Amino acid sequence: MEADGLFVYGTLREGGRHHAWLLRTHPLGLSHAYTPGRLFHLPEAGFPAAVPGPDPGTPPPGSGWVVGEFVGYEEKEDLEAALRDLDQLEDVAGGLFERRVRPMILDSGHSYAAWVYVFPEGRLSALYKGAIEILDGDWTKYLSRRFKSSI
């Protein structure tokens, strides 16, 4: 499966602390999207981790879907350059995240394939010990609810 773009679900989303990184890579655009999987908040790290999953069998949003944004690029070379930079931010070489091509669905219902940074399966037991599962798959909404409840 060849990737059509990039799927972001955490700090790279609009409003996230690394969103400016995306803007400097000159994406063609961003669209609200979903990919099958589970999402966890890593409290000590301050960012989320997606774990790939099978198609939940029901349309998004809901359980079994990770909420994020599809980031498109005009040229394949632009996407490749953006990924080289992002691999460093996501510490792919150090094993923090892996980059995989995953299916995703836009709000419009159109399906595509996108690069997604996911948590390595070999480290899942470490993830579950300190992580908080976000059942609706939306990290931005989770942070908003958490912030409101602490006021």
**What are the tens digits of pLDDT across the range 91-120?**
999 999 999 999 999 999 999 999 999 998
Query: What percent of the chain shows pLDDT beyond 90?
Result: 77
Q: What is the tens place of the pLDDT at every residue in 37-73?
A: 999 999 888 899 999 999 999 999 999 999 999 999 9
The domain that holds 38 is classified in CATH as 3.10.490.10
H runs (alpha helix) in 1-151: 19-24, 76-89, 124-130, 139-149
For the chain, what is the domain count? 1
Q: Which domain holds residue 113?
A: 5-149
Residue 149: pLDDT band with limits 50, 70, 90: low
Q: What stretches of 43-92 adopt beta strand conformation (E)?
A: 47-52, 65-72
Q: φ, ψ for residue 45 (rounded to 5)?
A: -85, -30
